[in-house]
Chains A and B, each alone.
Chain A
Amino acid sequence: MTSYFSRITGRDVEFFEKLLGGKNVSIEEEELVANAVDAYPGGFYKPEIVLWPTSSEEVSEILKYSYEKRIPVYPKGGSTGLTGTVPIYGGVLLSLTKMNKIVNIYEEDMQVTVQPGIIYDRLNKELEKYGLFFPPDPSSGSWCTIGGMVASNSSGLKAVKYGTTREYVLGLEVVLPEGRIIRLGTRTFKYSTGFDLLKMMIGSQGTLGVFTEITLRLRNLPEYYQTALAFFPSVESAVKTVYQIVRRGLDVAAVEFMDEKMMKAVAEYRKIDLPESKAMLLIETHGTRLAASETMEKCIRIFEENNAVDIRVARDAEERERFWAARKGAYPATLRLGKYMLISDIVVPLSKLYDAVQKSYELGEEYGIHSSTIGHFGDGNLHVHWSAGNNKDKIEDLHKANDKLTKWTIEIGGSISGEHGIGTEKKKFVKEQFREAFDLMLKIKKSIDPRCVLSPGVIFDLEEVLS
């Protein structure tokens, strides 16, 4: 099937150089290799050429040409993706990192229009001057791009209050596979105008079009924060606490869970003392001073009702930072256990959170691997960290355990991915998750990109699209 695509020829290189200028084209081996991977622990897939367009028109010309010549094109942002959206069929790596400008800040409308290559943290730094921010807050915020976030509908620690990227995208300029430039959405918060093609593009991971301009709605920076850590005698009591916080409608900005094994790993890594307990919750409230404090007081009462063994409320910004450092230490702490690890990204209904944690323990034991859990429990998103330490022989077991957990998630009505996407990693589960709806997704892909030149192998198998 690889012979289906054309290889890059000298003539193609010439065309791209003429279009973009020599500096924006590379076929140097070291550049191809450096673009052969993302943050997913998969193999290397070298593109044949890397291009850096600087305008929508250039992107359009590249796609037109590639579509015509049947050259695969893989759009790329910060390469921080965790699902392997890599050029498995070679072709063009379309790096959007040079399209990194803020086009316009509409302060009164609380909106911003950006090019796709701008880095999340840099955008927020600029927006801070206006008292505004774009909230999704993925862990990779220091290097991921807005285009990449839209492409994988990413989110992070505060989705329980602020939602995911999808909730913020108002408009997109998209270059379709054959090079046509279209605009989707408006600059209004509501519209009732037929099919919502805008939302269809979000999370499509570069398979339907290349985003060249993105309009986002923004939020006011919160006036006040309050952060607390609560430690529980059992996973069950922590989960019950989460449920009660959500059920009572408390406006919390973060509900982060960490189990005992993860707490131990973090305590060792960060050299901090955490009380003896089975689970920890980090809760944060945002708003006016009064509202944030009142909500936190209500949360504390719920902690107490559920027999929390220790409750710590941050007294100042420094302490708040320390609390977050404990939570954010989970990933590096697991990495210190050894180089072979895998992270799940499942989402379950809140009533199944406890079962999900138990399931991960069972599977960890079954395969003789380390499993510890953190999660954005307010929205049911769990990241089970599977680690085989440095034991290479156990790599397969990591995948087996993760696969079983993913299958279980589908069975109980959950989602195989909360914020990382499908990529090449979770392809095998998409059909299972969506069943008949997958055929519809496939039909959409086929009708927009019948030649399957955009990100072939990502989400869909090439054969499926061409059949």
Chain B
Amino acid sequence: MTVTKLFERELGEYFEDIWKCIRCGFCNSVCPTSNTSQSYLASLTSRGRIILLQAYFQDLLSKSLDHEKIQELMEYCFGCRRCLEVCPPGVRIPNLIWRVKKLNRRQGFLKKIIFTNFGRMEKLFSNFPSLSNLFLHSYIGKTLLEATIGVSKNIDFPSFNRSLEKWINNKRKPANYRGRLAYFIDVFTNYHEVALGREVVELVEKLGYLVTAPPQKEAGTLLLEEGLIDEAYKVAKENVESLYESVRNGAKIITSSPAAYLALKKDYPELLGDTKSRIVSENTLDIIELLLKEYENGVIDFDNVLENQLVYHHSCFTKASGLTKNIKHILESSGYRLKEIDKCCGIGGIWGLNKKHYNLSIEIGSNLFNELNRISLPVASQSETCRIQIKNNTLVEVKHPLLFVKNRLKIDKSRLSSFT
């Protein structure tokens, strides 16, 4: 079998997407890395990447897809998925590029080990938060992180906390409840932004739900973005098996992170293509969706007395997940007048944390940072990594949308009577 044929097989069903591309350039117009000071180079743009693939499979490109240079160009897709919204023929660009990245034989062994065991390591570090934080914020820690997985020393990485998962499972459970919710947390909320996770749990408990944290691994988005497809598949499989059990036991799956939501709603069914992942997907809802349902059913209401202005930041993953409308609705219903900003912050999951991409990441985000500083209003952004980037590069306060609405929320206890 020729190398070309071998690669064609590796791309699987996504191979056909290469030929669907009509090179209209719509993807370029929304792709964060296709609108920088470097993207006058056509090969550094989203369309350029697909053109290279079209050329390769017509024997018009002498470099192989696993060539260092080609792989370097593929790295400029950080999987934001904005292109999916605008591509006329529906080319699944990020999914295709992940599979091209998989062909990278030069992926550092250590880096691969670290990404594959990312969830485990986070868990380990969170068992000793004080020690871990000392290491994380020390010169040696930063140097080691840069040398192994390439995290830029400029990044102020958020501190570790004790696991939210443990906290939920050790928590006393209410005797009566209206329904069961299984929280799919993802690593960041689980080990870093634990306070947000606690707010989610306490709120839904007030709404009469029993919350559990079933056994779970990280969402695996990072693995996909690094082209570690087989590893992502394993993670997806494990998570789906566990969450499916919760669904069978009558629970709905709840998320608060757009990455976790996207994984369950779209990535896992696409990766696994099985019935269980489809059922898990159908039974997944974001905390904002839950609140909106309760609001529409009259279970909750808002004090509309205070009318404040707020910036709503459209994070890439929230856009891709289709949750934007719901988030805006709940924020507006709770009395906020929204100033919307639809600009990428440049972080791209962990892409912008990498020392190789750090400067470009800041360049991509600079329009957003400048505008946020100029407006100087609090910011609601659903994505955890967008919040890190905004915190690190602006002077404004940035929080998950839930934290803006929770204090304005009134629960009509008479509506909670239907306890199971």
- Give the residues in chain A near B16, CB-CB below 8 Å: 339
Q: Check A31–B41 contact: CB distance below 8 A.
A: yes
A142 at the A/B interface (Cβ < 8 Å)?
yes
- Chain A residue at minimum C-beta to C-beta distance from B41: A31
A284 at the A/B interface (Cβ < 8 Å)?
no
1/0 contact string of A37-67 vs chain B (CB within 8 Å)? 1110100101000101000000000000000
Q: Check B25–A33 contact: CB distance below 8 A.
A: no
Q: Given the known A-B contacts A39-B23, A44-B58, A79-B23, are A33 and B89 also in contact in the complex, defined by CB atoms under 8 Å?
A: no
The residues in A between 111 and 170 inclusive whose CB is less than 8 angstroms from any CB of B are 119, 121, 140, 142-144
A467 to B55, CA, bound (A): 34
B-contacting 9-mer, from A22-30, A246-254, A357-365, A415-423 = A22-30
B43 at the A/B interface (Cβ < 8 Å)?
yes
- Chain A residue at minimum C-beta to C-beta distance from B19: A339
Minimal beta-carbon separation of A285 from chain B (angstroms): 28
Q: Check A30–B58 contact: CB distance below 8 A.
A: no
B26 at the A/B interface (Cβ < 8 Å)?
yes
Q: Check A30–B25 contact: CB distance below 8 A.
A: no
- Give the residues in chain B near A30, CB-CB below 8 Å: 43, 48, 52, 61, 63, 69-70, 73
Q: Check B22–A41 contact: CB distance below 8 A.
A: yes
Q: Check A36–B25 contact: CB distance below 8 A.
A: no
The residues in B between 61 and 81 inclusive whose CB is less than 8 angstroms from any CB of A are 61-63, 69-70, 73
A336 at the A/B interface (Cβ < 8 Å)?
yes
The residues in B between 27 and 83 inclusive whose CB is less than 8 angstroms from any CB of A are 28-30, 40-43, 45, 47-48, 51-52, 54-55, 58, 60-63, 69-70, 73
- Chain B residue at minimum C-beta to C-beta distance from A338: B20
B42's partner among A79, A98, A119 (CB-CB below 8 A) is A79
A97 at the A/B interface (Cβ < 8 Å)?
yes
- Chain B residue at minimum C-beta to C-beta distance from A340: B19
B174 at the A/B interface (Cβ < 8 Å)?
no
A172 to B36, CA, bound (A): 28
Q: Given the known A-B contacts A30-B63, A332-B88, are A98 and B55 also in contact in the complex, defined by CB atoms under 8 Å?
A: no
- Chain B residue at minimum C-beta to C-beta distance from A24: B40
Q: Check B43–A37 contact: CB distance below 8 A.
A: no
- Chain B residue at minimum C-beta to C-beta distance from A30: B43
- Give the residues in chain A near B86, CB-CB below 8 Å: 142
- Chain B residue at minimum C-beta to C-beta distance from A93: B42
B24 at the A/B interface (Cβ < 8 Å)?
yes
A335 at the A/B interface (Cβ < 8 Å)?
yes
Minimal beta-carbon separation of B171 from chain A (angstroms): 42
- Give the residues in chain B near A98, CB-CB below 8 Å: 40
- Chain A residue at minimum C-beta to C-beta distance from B49: A34
A339 to B19, CA, bound (A): 7
- Give the residues in chain A near B40, CB-CB below 8 Å: 52, 95, 97-98
Q: Check B20–A37 contact: CB distance below 8 A.
A: no
- Give the residues in chain B near A44, CB-CB below 8 Å: 54-55, 58, 60
Q: Check B43–A33 contact: CB distance below 8 A.
A: yes
Q: Check A31–B19 contact: CB distance below 8 A.
A: no
Interface of B is mostly: helix
B90 at the A/B interface (Cβ < 8 Å)?
yes
Q: Check A142–B29 contact: CB distance below 8 A.
A: yes
- Give the residues in chain B near A143, CB-CB below 8 Å: 24-26, 28-29
- Give the residues in chain B near A331, CB-CB below 8 Å: 88
Q: Check A140–B70 contact: CB distance below 8 A.
A: no
Of A28, A33, A335, chain B has the most CB atoms within 10 Å of the CB of A33
Size band of the interface chain B makes with A: 20 to 34
Q: Check A36–B55 contact: CB distance below 8 A.
A: yes
A331 to B69, CA, bound (A): 34
- Give the residues in chain A near B30, CB-CB below 8 Å: 142
B23's partner among A26, A38, A95, A332 (CB-CB below 8 A) is A38
- Give the residues in chain B near A39, CB-CB below 8 Å: 22-25
Q: Check B25–A78 contact: CB distance below 8 A.
A: yes
A64 to B88, CA, bound (A): 40
Minimal beta-carbon separation of B319 from chain A (angstroms): 16
- Chain B residue at minimum C-beta to C-beta distance from A79: B25
- Give the residues in chain B near A335, CB-CB below 8 Å: 20, 22, 88-90
- Inter-chain CB contacts under 8 Å: number: 93
A332 to B21, CA, bound (A): 11
A26 to B90, CA, bound (A): 31
Q: Check A29–B62 contact: CB distance below 8 A.
A: yes
Minimal beta-carbon separation of A47 from chain B (angstroms): 11
- Give the residues in chain B near A142, CB-CB below 8 Å: 25-26, 29-30, 86
Minimal beta-carbon separation of B258 from chain A (angstroms): 23
- Give the residues in chain B near A79, CB-CB below 8 Å: 23, 25, 42, 47
A85 at the A/B interface (Cβ < 8 Å)?
no
- Give the residues in chain A near B51, CB-CB below 8 Å: 33-34, 36-37
The residues in B between 281 and 317 inclusive whose CB is less than 8 angstroms from any CB of A are none
Q: Check A140–B25 contact: CB distance below 8 A.
A: yes
Q: Given the known A-B contacts A52-B40, A332-B90, A339-B19, are A34 and B25 also in contact in the complex, defined by CB atoms under 8 Å?
A: no
A31 to B90, CA, bound (A): 25
1/0 contact string of B219-257 vs chain A (CB within 8 Å)? 000000000000000000000000000000000000000
Minimal beta-carbon separation of A424 from chain B (angstroms): 15
A33 to B48, CA, bound (A): 9
A455 at the A/B interface (Cβ < 8 Å)?
no
A339's partner among B20, B41, B42, B88 (CB-CB below 8 A) is B20
1/0 contact string of B261-283 vs chain A (CB within 8 Å)? 00000000000000000000000
Minimal beta-carbon separation of B51 from chain A (angstroms): 5
Q: Check A31–B22 contact: CB distance below 8 A.
A: no
Q: Given the known A-B contacts A37-B51, A95-B40, are A80 and B24 also in contact in the complex, defined by CB atoms under 8 Å?
A: yes
- Chain B residue at minimum C-beta to C-beta distance from A35: B42
- Give the residues in chain A near B20, CB-CB below 8 Å: 335, 339
- Give the residues in chain A near B88, CB-CB below 8 Å: 331-332, 335
The residues in B between 82 and 107 inclusive whose CB is less than 8 angstroms from any CB of A are 86, 88-90
- Chain B residue at minimum C-beta to C-beta distance from A343: B22
- Give the residues in chain A near B29, CB-CB below 8 Å: 119, 121, 142-143
- Give the residues in chain A near B62, CB-CB below 8 Å: 29
A144 to B26, CA, bound (A): 9
Of A34, A35, A50, A95, chain B has the most CB atoms within 10 Å of the CB of A34
A28's partner among B22, B28, B43 (CB-CB below 8 A) is B43
- Give the residues in chain B near A28, CB-CB below 8 Å: 43, 69
A44 to B54, CA, bound (A): 10
A121 to B52, CA, bound (A): 26
30 A/B residue pairs, CB under 8 Å, sorted by A? A26-B41, A28-B43, A29-B63, A30-B43, A30-B48, A30-B52, A30-B61, A30-B63, A30-B73, A31-B42, A31-B43, A33-B43, A34-B45, A34-B47, A34-B52, A36-B51, A37-B51, A39-B25, A44-B54, A78-B25, A95-B42, A98-B40, A142-B29, A142-B30, A143-B24, A143-B26, A143-B28, A339-B16, A339-B20, A339-B89
Extra A-B contacts (8), CB below 8 Å, given A33-B43, A50-B42: A34-B47, A44-B54, A44-B55, A44-B60, A79-B23, A119-B29, A142-B86, A339-B16
B residues apposed to A, CB below 8 Å: 16, 19-20, 22-26, 28-30, 40-43, 45, 47-48, 51-52, 54-55, 58, 60-63, 69-70, 73, 86, 88-90
| Smallest CB-CB A-B distances: 4 pairs | A142-B29, A143-B25, A335-B89, A34-B42
